[in-house]
Structure 1
Amino acid sequence: MTTYAVGDIQGCYSTLRKLLDKVSFDESKDKLWVAGDLVNRGPENLATLRYLRGLGKQCIAVLGNHDLHLLAIAAGARNPKRNDTIEDVLNAPDRDELLHWLKHRPLVHYSEKKSCIMVHAGIPPIWSEKKCLKHAAELEAAIQGPDSDAFFHNMYGNEPATWSKELEGIDRLRIIANYFTRMRFCNAKGMLELDSKGNTPPSGFAPWFLHNHKHSKKTTVIFGHWAALEGRVFKSGYEALDTGCVWGGCLTVMRIKDRVRFSVDADG
């Protein structure tokens, strides 16, 4: 059995299948970790969700910001944006089953055995692995619970920008979501700056992975989200896997045991 981790698929199903063929992925015994943003902006979102769901326990996928956006639209909390491409999912006969499956994906996956933690955007420098899992569980409960629509109606926004254990309600849930699914830049105390999307940090901030972290130095953090990095962070213990497939770049998978990467160019 071999475990692979793949970056943002974003509905690029045909490219995903070519990439898995390249590594001779065995659906019966190999495992695929997906670092969030399974859907949106790409052309084959329905096929992507059906395939990943069909892998059953062989697939571990975490939620990204585009996945949460799809769930918010499905809940009637948001209208589709001009560049969204998720109509195929929303109009599918198996829509409810697929959305139920997506809603029950974790925000964070931690494997002590493999010394890896996977998240879509990143983990704040102020949280250990234990705290990450604890706060991820809080948000997962809200997303999967009977009041999930209330969360999706109030999910969007950049405030609060700084974590406090005193936060409650939607403010607490929103900053947890922003850490795990939207973060690029923050300061050493975990204050977020969510407006900048390139590689140049605004004054007083730095890429989240460059700060001193409370998580174990033995733990490798696997993440996606930040296509502008082109898969490079130049810091040991961090693996960026979003290589901009949906923007005409490539889709990248990493073999967990030795960190060897394989890529295929985007279709089209």
Structure 2
Amino acid sequence: MATYAIGDLQGCYAELQSLLERICFDPTQDKLWLVGDLVNRGPGSLEVLRFVRSLGDSAITVLGNHDLHLLAVAAGLAKLHRGDTLDQLLNAPDCDELLHWLRQQRLLHAEENYVLVHAGLLPSWTVEQARGLAHEVESALRSDDYAEFFAQMYGNAPIAWSSELSGYQRLRVITNACTRMRICTPQGEMEFKFKGEVSKIPAGYLPWFEVPDRASRDATIVVGHWSALGLKVTPNLIALDTGCLWGGPMTAIRLDDRRLFQVGCNTPVAKDW
């Protein structure tokens, strides 16, 4: 039995199947951890959702910003963006079933000394605190009033965590940290426009995982989201978004021994948006 973590899929179904063949994935014995952003921009979002759902307990996925965008669009609370490739999924006969399944997925998964989350954890959050906060968002997504969550989800403010936050402002900060954050100040103030390479981070900010003495530093955080960061494996961070969508490889890591596996991109999307 082995546990494999895989970077952002973003609808790259053919590459996912090639990678699973490469690692000899056996759903009756192995576990698959997916860092979120299962859908969008690539050509096979519908096939990806159908396949991951079919894996049942063999796959653990956390939600990424593109997954939440899909759910918000389907709820009528967001519009499709230029470059979105969600029409086939939204028009599929099993769309409602797939989106109901997607809403049941986690924002964060913690097991032993690993934490699976799409973007990152705010520096002040311990793993236990982050797990509890993520559960607040998960409860909102799974509730009968989930549409109201999407109505309130968008926005950059507040930019920092405070235990005094309540209501949808509280849920928005948690969601933004777990699904959108790349950089922050040492005090945990997030910035969301930056998507580039580490060498070009604006003054006063640093990668969230490089904040000195962050409270989750003793755990290994497994993330995606930041394709310009690329593959980064350290004792307490595994970043797996290697930009398959844009022509880079799709990457898996076997957590048991940290062996890496990669397959190439079949049909890269032009990065012009």
The runs of at least 4 consecutive aligned structure 1 residues that moved more than 2 Å come to none
Instruction: Kindly report which structure 2 residues correspond to 1:90-169, keeping only aligned pairs within 5 A, or say none.
Output: 90-112=90-112, 115-169=113-167
More divergent stretch after superposition (8-17 vs 139-148): 139-148
Instruction: Kindly report which structure 2 residues correspond to 1:180-259, keeping only aligned pairs within 5 A, or say none.
Output: 180-199=178-197, 200-211=200-211, 212-215=213-216, 217=218, 219-232=219-232, 235-259=234-258
Do 1:129 and 1:216's aligned partners in 2 also have CA atoms closer than 8 Å? no
Shift of 1:188: 2.0
Q: Which amino acid aligns with 2:253?
A: M
Q: Does the residue aligned with 1:14 lie in a helix, a strand or coil?
A: helix
CA–CA distance in structure 1, aligned partners of residues 203 and 140 of structure 2: 34
Do 2:217 and 2:236's aligned partners in 1 also have CA atoms closer than 8 Å? no
Q: Which amino acid aligns with 2:261?
A: F
Do 1:4 and 1:255's aligned partners in 2 also have CA atoms closer than 8 Å? yes
Q: Which amino acid aligns with 1:220?
A: T
Question: Scaled by the length of structure 1, what TM-score is found?
Answer: 0.96
Q: How many residues align?
A: 264
Unaligned 5+ runs, structure 2: 268-273
Q: Which amino acid aligns with 1:214?
A: A
Shift of 1:236: 2.9
* Residue equivalent to 1:72: 72
Do 2:161 and 2:173's aligned partners in 1 also have CA atoms closer than 8 Å? yes
Shift of 1:89: 1.2
Instruction: Kindly report which structure 2 residues correspond to 1:4-83, keeping only aligned pairs within 5 A, or say none.
Output: 4-83=4-83
Per-residue CA distance 1:71-113 (angstroms, 9 max, x = gap): 000100011111110111111111111001100000001002x
- RMSD between aligned residues: 1.0
Shift of 1:232: 2.4
Shift of 1:14: 0.4
Q: Which amino acid aligns with 1:149?
A: A
CA–CA distance in structure 1, aligned partners of residues 217 and 81 of structure 2: 39
Shift of 1:153: 1.3
Q: Taking structure 1 as reference, are residues 216 and 227 closer, same or farther at Cα in structure 2, changes over 3 Å only?
A: closer
Unaligned 5+ runs, structure 1: none
Question: Scaled by the length of structure 2, what TM-score is found?
Answer: 0.95
Q: Taking structure 1 as reference, are residues 73 and 230 closer, same or farther at Cα in structure 2, changes over 3 Å only?
A: same
* Residue equivalent to 2:270: none
- What's the % identity of the aligned pairs? 49
* Residue equivalent to 1:172: 170
Do 1:118 and 1:222's aligned partners in 2 also have CA atoms closer than 8 Å? yes
Q: Which amino acid aligns with 2:144?
A: P
CA–CA distance in structure 1, aligned partners of residues 194 and 82 of structure 2: 21
Shift of 1:146: 1.6
Per-residue CA distance 1:144-165 (angstroms, 9 max, x = gap): 1122111111211111101111
Shift of 1:216: 5.1
Q: Which amino acid aligns with 1:59?
A: A
